Amino acid sequence: GESVGLHLPTLSVQEGDNSIINCAYSNSASDYFIWYKQESGKGPQFIIDIRSNMDKRQGQRVTVLLNKTVKHLSLQIAATQPGDSAVYFCAEKTSGSRLTFGEGTQLTVNP
């Protein structure tokens, strides 16, 4: 079936570096994508979203890039901080408001 997956299960970076988390999706009909951050013991927290008619969207220290040609989504975090350590999920909106999540990438920020 259609699914959203991630290229790397873990990512370790030094504090202050930029982080890039990748995601592949397979449903070419999806029109909306979201990145969530999930800290241990908490629910997913909305970070940033992007519609399929956009290639790039920027937020505070975060940028999402969408490449529809290769069905690839990425999340860039600038000047990564220890508080950014968490699991990051990309999610794809399929039918209605149903979200399909990938398996997640564990980001670890080393001081």
**Residues contributing to the site for other proteins (CB under 8 A):** 32, 34, 36, 41-46, 49, 51, 89, 91, 93, 95-104
Least distance to other proteins, CB of residue 32, Å: 6
Q: Does the CA dihedral 96-55-17-9 come out positive or negative?
A: positive
Residue whose CB is less far from other proteins, 12 or 111:
12
> How many angstroms from the chain centroid is the CA of residue 83?
16
Residue whose CB is less far from other proteins, 65 or 99:
99
Q: Are 23 and 4 in contact (CB under 8 A)?
A: yes
Strands 56-58 and 86-93: unpaired
Residue whose CB is less far from other proteins, 86 or 111:
86
